Structure 1
Amino acid sequence: MRAQGLSPSIDPGAAPADLAAGEAVAVLAPGVPRRRSATGTRILAVLYPVCLAVVDGWVIAVAVAVLRPAPGAVPGVAAVLLIACNASGGLYRMRRSPSLLADGPPIVLRALVVAALAAVLLPGSALGAAAAWLWIAGAAGTGSLAVRAFVNAAVRTYRCRRSRARPALIVGTGGTAAHMACILRDRGELGLTAVGQVAAGATEPGGPAVAAPVLGETSDLPALVEEHGIDTLLVVAEDVHPGHLDAVLRISFGLPCETLLVQPPSDVVPVAATRREYLAGLPCARVDWRLREPAARYAKRLLDLAAGSLILLLVSPVLALCAVAVRMEGGPGVLFRQRRIGLGGEEFVLLKFRTLKPADEQESDTRWTVKGDDRMGRVGRFLRATSLDELPQLWNVIRGDMSLVGPRPERPHFVEQFSRTCPGYMLRHRVPVGMTGWAQIHGFRGDTSIELRARLDNHYIDHWSFAGDLRILLLTVRAMLCRDAG
């Protein structure tokens, strides 16, 4: 059941970073259907990297095999290494403006490195190894570049001649946004067409500059993407109000489309080559969130199931001791059940060991903290001080209500309150809530700043990694064993 009253009303006095928070949650709610791209686009997105990878591996494997009648495993090893090196450098990704001149140097460099390793593995004299290195590198580099030249030309031709370009939505109504709309209209090889622009709060001298219909504001983004079947969201940074930019990018986390951030001229922060794009010379950064991808979510869920089950098994004696201690101190009712808000604003029942008996359900739902309450006995204080009262939530993790790592869930009463006063608070619900999180290991528990807690939670979501989750779990264990504030 969805919690009621959790989508904050948007008014002119609302904090800019909190705009469209409610809509963002609605897009991310479980069960909401996501629109898929056209069949041709999906096929191209798969064929492009697969073809390049197969050719790269095949060419260098053949080049190595030619040198020895019975080369053993060396050709296969060389093929796998070259494909892995090119993939790590982002050389198999689809781009709006594929360039052989940009890809050439890294392709040749990787071919030289892998060819040197293959030449060393092949037996022969020093002179033979040098000749083998040049032959393998030349064949691999030439083959890869030739195929890329053909494939890039084929992609540009396909984009120009297909009956319908991919619809794009431009966020911003300034001069650069208008120029971007003109570029998409005149450059068919980019494969995009601007269906409209979105006002983003930035003021343009002399009025807004538009080259496509203004369809709405940033709060309308989820609805516009769904209504117009948007495949690409172009966020023009310099034409977006500074207070809106973070919210726009985080809202795009939950949208079923790719997001390109057109960087402002003053932005001197370098962008990694694997995320860099150019649209008619304008630098863009592909905005990717690993946790938005199905593979990353499945991996995180697998970690929750495996680690959660193992931890539950290992701590089962501790759970039994805690249950007995709670029963002896406070009588029947060892577990405490409380309504909390999880992924997409969905409500679930969170489990904890009871540390005190609330006067009624109203107190349980609306009282912020029980620290220092006279009704709490020694067992309750110990459980709360060591966080052992949270251990029953392992069952919530196994059930799928929660994750081991994520933003801590809050009660509906406080979610509604914080969503109206704390910018970006509702955007914490883009991912499953957790038993521990980035904010908690840095001391943001209990009666601490909600604004800073929300900022750290959103930072965790934006920069999620599998290794980061493992690190947070280890730091949480250390904090429980050392009984520090983290």
Structure 2
Amino acid sequence: MKGRAMRAQGLSPSVDSGAAPELMPAGGGTTVRRAATGARILAGLYPVCLAVVDGWTMAAAVALNGGGLLPGLAALAVIALNASGGLYRARRTPSLLADLPQLLARTLLVGAVAAVLLSDGTLLLWTAALCGTVQLGVRAFANAAVRTYRCRRSRARSALVVGTGQTAAHMLDILRERGEFGLAAVGQVAAGRPAGPPGAAPVLGETADLPTLVEEHGVDTLVVVAEDVDPGQLGAVLRISFGLPCETLLVQPPSDVVPVAPARREYLAGLPCARVDWRLRDPVARIAKRLLDLAVACPLLVLALPVLAVCAAAVRIEGGPGVLFRQRRIGFGGEEFVLLKFRTLKPADERESDTRWTVKNDERMGRVGRFLRNTSLDELPQLWNVVRGDMSLVGPRPERPHFVEQFSRTCPGYVLRHRVPVGMTGWAQIHGFRGDTSIELRARLDNHYIDHWSFATDLRILLLTARAMLCRDSG
């Protein structure tokens, strides 16, 4: 399982520009990535510069009418509001007209609050005049600079088009003719739909080959043409893209298939398009989730020491030496780790431990083991796995290598559960999918959790898990 091509490192791709309309040569990934270094730096500076300008103009407008901390607070407020509305994100088609209503509304909102606090009605006029003029002027200049840079670059960002129908062929023509989008196609990928007219790029493989093709051709952008992808494969394609080191653009996105916020929609030569992002791909979100794990697991481990000691003593008295049960499991990215549990029964040998499915009410299980299993107290040692970083508090439950291999062959989407760290509890578990239950439904619920992750969901799962342990309720 180690080194699986679908390894999900969770790194958000940098989004930026490229240009040259010619097709990219196959195997030119290394050269293209080196050429894109400067573009990535510029892409990082673009939102920083806009945020600085927005904050400075707001602070200056407020400072003209009052001092103290209010100018700084107003600057931070307008930056936060603009960031939440996606006004600092890099786009293939930056548009001043698209940003104008949101920009002015947020600026005037902060200005109105500051005017009320300062009891100065003229502040709103200063805000509208100064902020509107400077912010819009800087954005117009920045957008023009981005388009010019993309058109004049010697090498564009390499793109791989998923789909072989008419819309995909049209998208290839757009990328070839419109250098301001900064993308050049290295090829197409067949996705279960009938092929359309011959495209301007070769068909390099099928959707199952995506991880290999992205790596071999140094692909920076995956362009998924939804209407040219078989509906049964669209979800799998998007979930595969979760673990790829490139951005994913969905053309003609069906709103009920993938989580796309309205603020992330744009157009490529009139075709609606959206950058597909999952929160858990963002390194900041991953770090925050890890900090939550440590903040909860460390105190819990300390508070649970008396319970752990009692459980260990009970297991030792009932079954003799060997209080802890160690078992190989598959975690994040297909990597193996050693999971810790209190021993509830003694397997006949190591092979039985690795390949025998857990049986409820096994006759070899004593009263202590059955109590620990029924109350989930046998799972408490996994808090140490969380502290070590092998696991998270919330995530898909880890499974043994033997069963991961088996389920990966028979259950579509099972391997995609390893896009994120495995967990002590998860969305599937709190809904009753544990032990001898449907693997297909368990994988579906786990993938749903990954696709729509949020801190609120993690907290809800932890609270429901605590309730189930206290009330002996699986729901």
Q: Normalising by the residue count of structure 1, what TM-score does the alignment of the two structures yield?
A: 0.89
Q: 1:341·1:409 contact (CA, 8 Å) conserved in 2? A: yes
| Preserved CA contact (<8 Å) 2:375 2:472 | yes
Q: Where in structure 2 are the equivalents of 1:51-130 lying within 5 Å? A: 51-68=49-66, 71-123=67-119, 129-130=120-121
Please tell me whether the aligned partners of residues 57 and 83 of structure 1 are also in contact (alpha carbons under 8 angstroms): yes
Label 1:306 to 1:365 Cα distance change in 2 as closer, same or farther (>3 A): same
Among all aligned residue pairs of Structure 1 and Structure 2, give the percentage whose two residues are the same amino acid: 78
Does 2:446 correspond to 1:457? yes
Superposed, which structure 2 residues align to 1:81-480 within 5 Å? Answer: 81-123=77-119, 129-204=120-195, 207=196, 209-263=198-252, 271-480=260-469
Q: 1 CA distance for matches of 2:300 and 2:407? A: 33
Please say if 1:23 is aligned against 2:5: yes
Residue 259 of structure 1 aligns to a residue whose secondary structure is: strand
Helix, strand or coil at the partner of 1:96: coil
State the secondary structure of the residue aligned to 2:136.
helix
Q: CA deviation at 1:211?
A: 2.2
Query: Aligned Cα RMSD in Å?
Result: 2.2
- Evaluate the alpha carbon distance shift between residue 353 and residue 280 of structure 1 in structure 2; reply closer, same or farther with a 3 A threshold: same
In the alignment, the residues of structure 1 paired with residue 466 and residue 40 of structure 2 have an alpha-carbon distance, to the nearest angstrom, of 43
Give the distance between the partners of 1:400 and 1:173, measured in 2 at CA: 42
Structure 1 residue runs of 4+, over 4 Å off?
A: 27-30, 34-37, 264-271
* Contact 1:337-1:352 at 8 Å conserved across structures: yes
Query: In the aligned structure 2, how far is the partner of 1:380 from the partner of 1:420?
Result: 33
Contact 2:10 2:242 in 1 (8 A): no
User: 1:271, CA displacement in angstroms?
Assistant: 4.6
User: Is the alpha carbon distance of 1:294 and 1:404 closer, same or farther for their aligned partners in structure 2, counting shifts above 3 Å?
Assistant: same
Q: For the residues of structure 1 that align with 2:103 and 2:61, how far apart are their CA atoms?
A: 16
Shift in Å at residue 179 of structure 1?
Answer: 0.6
Change (3 A) 1:29 1:84: closer
**Count of matched residue pairs:** 455
Q: Distance in 2 between matches of 1:279 and 1:47?
A: 23
Q: Supply the AA of the counterpart residue of 1:448.
A: T
* Matched position secondary structure for 2:199: coil
Go from structure 1 to structure 2 and tell me whether the alpha carbon gap of 1:208 and 1:446 turns closer, same or farther (over 3 Å shift). Answer: farther
1:271-304 deviation line (CA, Å, top 9, x unaligned): 5232212111111121112212222222222222
Q: Please point out which of 44, 51, 59 is paired with 1:46.
A: 44
Cα distance between partner residues in 1 of 2:221 and 2:84? 24
Specify the code of the residue in structure 1 equivalent to 2:463: L
Matched residues in 2 for 1:193 and 1:87: separation? 29
Aligned-partner SS, 1:278: strand
Query: Which range moved further: 365-374 or 169-178?
Result: 365-374
Shift of 1:248: 0.9
Amino acid at match of 2:60: V
The Cα of 1:209 is off from its aligned counterpart by 4.1
Return closer, same or farther for 1:265/1:456 CA change in 2, 3 Å cut-off. closer
CA deviation vs aligned residue, 1:191-243 (integer Å, no higher than 9, x gap): 11111111111114xx5542211111111111111111111110000001112
Q: Secondary structure at the match of 2:5?
A: helix
Shift of 1:137: 2.1
| Distance change in 2, residues 1:130/1:268 (3 Å) | farther
Q: Is the 8 A contact 2:235 2:257 kept in 1?
A: no
Provide the C-alpha distance between the structure 2 equivalents of 1:111 and 1:29, rounded to a whole number of angstroms. 34
CA drift of 1:48 comes to 0.7
